[in-house]
Amino acid sequence: MSMRIGGLASGIDTDTIIKDLMKAERLPLDKMEQDKTKLEWQRDRFREINTKVKELKDLTSGINSMQGSKMYNTKKVSSSDEGVVTATGNTSALEGSYKVEVHQLASTAINVSNKVRIDPDEKLIGQTVDEFNYSIADNETFSFITYNENGEAKTHEYEIEADDTLSDVLKKVNNDPDNNVRMFYDDNTERVVMETTRTGNYNPNGEEIVFGTDTNSFFKYALNMHQSNENGGQNAKFTYNDGYVVETTENTYTLNHITFEFNGINEGNPATLKVTTDTDAIKGKITEFVDKYNELIEMLNDSQREERHRDYPPLTEAQKEEMDEKEIELWEEKAKSGILRGDSIISSGMFSLRQNWYEKMETGSSFKLLTDIGISTTKDYLDGGKLEIDEGELDDAINADPNGIYKLFAGDSDTNTLGIMDHLNNSLSTIEEQINQRAGRTWDQEKSYTLGKNIDDIQNRMEAFQDRLTQTEDRYWRQFGAMEEAISMMNQQSAMLMSNFGGQ
């Protein structure tokens, strides 16, 4: 951009005059910029509302939602002796009492060596245990056997390489994902510990870890570890309801849709476990839904009750440059207030949402209306139709007929009757669809929704108007340049005349 200097002949501050003239010329562009900003704010506010709509819709449909039978069949299990046995039940667990007597707990197998006969920090190959005339040879191997779930033996073999120390060898065992074994060296006692990483005994004939000291010289002479020292590798054993004895390799066992966890032994003194419907879980889910619904209503209601400040239009970029951040924040807070006030999508949407709570549900449930289970809209009309819960009434309804609450919310598939959540979901889907048509989604092209088309139209007009402003500014400079040129010629003529008169 070339530098322009005016006023050389006239002494007029041309640059300031043209800037002031252009400010007046820019007024329509500033207005378009403000209109565009306002549309963008409206679009973003609509999308915030749709985010809340989506969150609420996720609670109204699907297997884990207010329409999922699983929610109303959640079970809890109490134990008369939690120090011995606790349990959890899935939705298929039958309510009732169960007796469990734990005879033994599942344990891991463990073998602890005597004091090792080698230097654990030195290379293994070449070290000698003189008393047994045993020397660790190059490429020596050692192995042990474990058993799989079918009781089948599997051999795990490892090679001692040239520079390996005891730590390197133990690491090879620990890094093997298939052996279910870990080993470590205790510096304090100078012993090696070898143990299983799983409980239970998978070997039907004896020890869980078998390394045969007679054929594994490294175990016997170097590590001073012996097969006879192995302990554990025991299965859990319990009796269910006085008549069914069960062994399991773990301290948990699932029976009749109840998962028992064993923590101790109660031989001769069975614990009683009671399976009941988890009314707290049902209440928690309903409360979560009501809270989420109220969040949406509060957002919708606020958008209609916010005061509109017509004296606070959106700031242009030029105006922002003259203000600090706090001033901009306070201004825009007022400028954004009420930008959706009176919008028909929101007002009709709120009306539709409220109507769902007053419609009778003929689903075969003992409850026909939401008020039957202690949930109603607040009495304050300024709340916009928020819901409130009478906890006592809700507790009574859940305890009396959880399946009836399920039908009230989810309907009855046997008779093809809809529940409250079906009607609510339809209302939410309508709001969501209308907002998408008006404000689009983050991935939508601007021309595919109403506000986007308007924003795009204003942007095109702004670009065209900016071109005209550039032409106008060039014209002003040409005009003032012509004036300066004329004044310069007049000054020259005047000087010449004065020179001629002065010479006579």
Enclosing H/E stretch for 65: none
Q: Which residues contact 225 (CB under 8 A, 6 or more apart)?
A: 111, 112, 113, 114, 192, 194, 211, 213, 219
Yes or no: say if 391 and 374 are a contact pair by the CB < 8 Å rule. Answer: yes
Say what the pLDDT of residue 97 is: 96
Among the ranges given (1-10, 164-173, 321-330), the one the predictor scored with the smallest mean pLDDT: 1-10
Helices (H), 185-322: 217, 279-305, 317-321
H helix count then E strand count, the chain: 12, 18
Would the pLDDT of 288 be above 50?
A: yes
Question: Which of 20-34, 183-197, 310-324, 461-475 is modeled with the greatest confidence?
Answer: 183-197
Say what the pLDDT of residue 444 is: 85
**What values do phi and psi take at 279, rounded to 5?**
-65, -30
- Mean pLDDT over 22-26 rounds to 75
Yes or no: say if 208 and 109 are a contact pair by the CB < 8 Å rule. Answer: yes
CA distances from 420 to 65, 227, 410 (A): 13, 68, 7
> Other C-beta atoms within 10 Å of 58: how many?
12
Report which DSSP code applies to 94.
Answer: P
**From CA 33, how far away is CA 314, in angstroms rounded?**
8
**From CA 422, how far away is CA 418, in angstroms rounded?**
6
126: closest CA among 116, 140, 134, 136? 136
Q: Which residues contact 349 (CB under 8 A, 6 or more apart)?
A: 300, 427, 430, 431, 434
436: closest CA among 420, 448, 424? 448
**In the numeric block, which tokens belong to residue 338?**
């009420």
pLDDT tens sequence across 65-82: 888 878 888 899 999 999
CA-based angle 439:445:450, to the nearest 5? Answer: 35
* pLDDT, greater one: 382 or 374: 374
CA distances from 202 to 50, 57, 107, 162 (A): 56, 50, 12, 35
Would the pLDDT of 504 be above 60?
A: no
Q: Which residue has tokens 């005891």?
A: 166
pLDDT tens sequence across 308-365: 999 999 998 888 989 999 999 999 999 999 999 999 999 999 999 999 999 899 888 8
Kindly indicate the confidence band of residue 1, based on its pLDDT and cuts at 50, 70 and 90.
very low
**In the numeric block, which tokens belong to residue 267?**
């031989």
Q: Where does residue 155 rank: exposed (0-12), middle (13-18), buried (19+ CB within 10 A)?
A: exposed
Would the pLDDT of 11 be above 80?
A: no
**From CA 271, how far away is CA 268, in angstroms rounded?**
10
